[in-house]
Amino acid sequence: MNKTILITGSTDGIGRLTAIKLANKGYTVYVHGRSQEKIRTTINEIKEATGNQNIKGFIADYSDLNSVEKMAEEINEKVAKLDVLINNAGVFNTSKIKNQDGLDIRMVVNYLAQYLLTARLLPLLNKGTDPRVINLSSAAQAPVSIDVLLGKETVSNGETYAQSKLALTMWTFYMAKKEPNISMIAVNPGSLQNTKMVQKAYGTSWSSPDKGATILSELSNIEDAIKISGKYFDNDRGNFGNAHPDSYDDAKIKKLIETTDELIKKLIG
């Protein structure tokens, strides 16, 4: 089967390596990045490396939800169906803490943008074969502060990052119940892999980003993905396991989703 796959944040690191692995299987792969030049370069490099000509791209600044909304509209216009959506885009350190809406950029890029894009692409995913959404969580997960989510409180880089990743995981489990025909999977691709984001944040690494790309490729290809919907794969341990306890707290999830929906409605409509 010729799967159609969209990978966000795929001009570098784990996302780019995953795109190459999936392109090697002959799939139609859409990459995403912030600049036209980098998208063009990435597409050409993947085509040359794999011989697969079905590589295309979309542009959006993930710190700007209006940009994400425009990309979603373009995808809905140009793509007939979507079998796999890999929400890989992420940020840890940033020179500018808040975006134009006064929200912490880590919360926007790592959680809100993924939430918005997925919501807009649900019709395409429902047309897919054995469709799945793979959300990149992290071993770093911390209880979500609604004030941090709304930009009313600022905490450390590490704390904000961990909160954004737990928010993403909580939302994944919520969507698994809401969308019974789409597999929703959260995955920690592996801690401190040698990517630009990790080097910028920590200046060191433990493993190759190929480790993360391999598990993302495997989860993209596993059959009957609906059987693993609502689960968390911990690639540090190499198996499915438990995420942060808040991921299973219905009251906290309800509060998070309600706040998120209100925020996006306020900003996007």
Residues annotated as part of the active site: 161
235, with CB counted inside 10 A (0-12, 13-18, 19+), is buried
In which order are the strands placed within the sheet that holds 55-59?
Answer: 55-59, 28-33, 4-7, 84-87, 132-136, 183-188, 231-234, 239-241
How far is the C-alpha of 214 from the C-alpha of 217, rounded, in Å?
5
CA distances from 66 to 82, 85, 181, 251 (A): 22, 20, 28, 29
In sequence order, what are the beta bridge partners of 135?
87, 186
How far is the C-alpha of 242 from the C-alpha of 166, rounded, in Å?
12
| DSSP three-state, residue 132 | strand
